[in-house]
Structure 1
């Protein structure tokens, strides 16, 4: 870091993996911008970071599916920095529906947040990073972007799209000082996974422990991934030492997905 902190944007920063990533980047010395739909959650995370000694933390309530709101965020940042050094696209949603019962609205909602949101943020970030000659973009995808899972066809398809965008954009930006990578967590210890467990319980009558065992069975380590473990991978990709790493999709999943 220089004397003046470089700026990092994290979407979906109000909880779970996004909050862990924001905290990790703040610890690395970045001025961190927390973006998400729920202002109260962002402010709570910001207060926690400031209490920990991280003074330069900013909150931005927005919907990443709205291109105008995303551009407004970057316009506000233009006054603070030539370009954000790091952009982490973490905002996302999931949902389980058997394909034969799936309605287009469900399919569309998965793509609107998980794919369009990444597109809007990258479209705003890349021109600014090109002008600065430097940037690190990290897209938080999922092991669902690297393999298939039953009953989440829309989510799997959306996360595969994020991986495709990551690979294509990395090639376009390769000579501009910008790297573009993805991290792909398996089932993580987050509110999203807790909601998945509740859905399994409600739909199958299994106990919470049985539902959790089903989710962790695919992880050779037999456990949920911790948000901090994903944040560590993001911090490495965001650092100077990962300058030759681009277009990669790194699984953080206890060996569930291997090359």
Structure 2
């Protein structure tokens, strides 16, 4: 993306403290946006804001730091509504929302605890609902905006040991598509980017033993786990997902809505 492509645009990115969320924040800043970076953990947010402090951007409050950290738990509906109001009062109208915040509790379906199930949906599904409701309503009133939810290819293909995660991502995906249908006449576009295996802390938490060998097993696939490999022969970098997000929120995708873009190296065979 060109540095001026999103100039003057204010974006909200959840889960911005690490992994894909941090990569999305970097990509949007590189395109000229001011980013309200959201995470539950203040430390990574502060580090990201400091990292990108040198990029001068033009927002509603003049030239300033491109990343503004907001410590927020997206599972708290009232806190989300208050935070969105604060962001718009401080930075200007939100033109972009990217939902990245997510958790993974891996376990066989019949062994999942109530807590793991509830917590997974609280972040991965309810969190998307809370932010989309607060931001989408404001976008609709203004007649413009772009929302992207980072889902997962697990939402479209069954995965062993990932029932709660896959179900929560499937729910968030369909919610975002329904939202896109409802807001289309208001000029608001809503899309999904569905990554496959991506080199993040969440992915590495699933690996056992040597990291290099574990990565190769993901690339090769696992017949016993009913999992195909990655045809492109590599695990995605967070930046690969961020570039897809950056495209969908830009005017280059102005006629795309309710789309689910798989960025998984062909791992699902687009089932």
Please tell me the TM-score bracket, short chain as reference: over 0.9
**1:215 paired to 2:218:** yes
What is the distance in 1 between the residues matched to 2:206 and 2:252? Answer: 36
Q: What are structure 1's unaligned runs of at least 5 residues? A: none
Aligned counterparts of 2:196 and 2:260: Cα–Cα separation in 1: 13
SS in 2 for 1:65: coil
Which residue of 123, 128, 133 corresponds with 2:138?
128
RMSD, aligned α-carbons: 1.7
- Separation (CA, whole Å) in 2 of partners of 1:101 and 1:241: 45
TM-score with structure 2 setting the length: 0.88
Say whether the 8 Å CA contact 1:87–1:125 is kept in structure 2: yes
Select which of 82, 100, 104 maps to 1:72: 82
SS of equivalent residue, structure 2 residue 199: coil
Summarize the Cα distance change of 1:46–1:81 in structure 2 as closer, same or farther, 3 Å threshold: closer
Measure how far apart 1:43 and its partner are: 0.5
Q: CA deviation at 1:211?
A: 2.5
In structure 1, the residue corresponding to 2:185 is in which secondary structure?
coil
Aligned-partner Cα distance in 2 for 1:195–1:167:
30
Cα distance, 1:131 vs structure 2: 1.2
SS at match of 2:173: helix
1:63 aligns with 73
Residue 40 of structure 2 is matched in structure 1 by 37
Q: Does 1:20 align with 2:31?
A: no
Query: Is the 8 Å Cα contact of residues 103 and 123 (structure 2) preserved in structure 1?
Result: yes
Pick the aligned partner of 1:191 from 197, 201, 209: 201
Q: Tell which deviates more after alignment, 50-59 or 151-160.
A: 50-59
CA apart distance, 1:230: 0.6
Equivalent residue for 2:224?
none
1:86 corresponds to:
96
Report the 3-state secondary structure (helix = DSSP H, G, I; strand = E; otherwise coil) of the residue aligned with 1:26: helix
Q: Residue in 2 aligned with 1:244?
A: 255
Tell me which residue corresponds to 1:7: 10
What is the TM-score normalised by the length of structure 1?
Answer: 0.92
- Distance in 2 (CA, whole Å) between partners of 1:4 and 1:231 is 17
Query: Does the C-alpha gap of structure 1 residues 250 and 115 become closer, same or farther in structure 2, counting only changes over 3 Å?
Result: same
CA distance in 1, matches of 2:108, 2:213: 21
The CA distance in 1 between the partners of 2:89 and 2:232, in whole Å, is 46
Q: CA deviation at 1:60?
A: 0.1
Residue equivalent to 1:152: 162
CA contact under 8 A between 1:50 and 1:57: conserved in structure 2?
yes
Are the aligned partners of 1:82 and 1:128 in contact in 2 as well (CA < 8 Å)?
A: no
Between the aligned partners of 2:26 and 2:214, the Cα distance in structure 1 is: 30
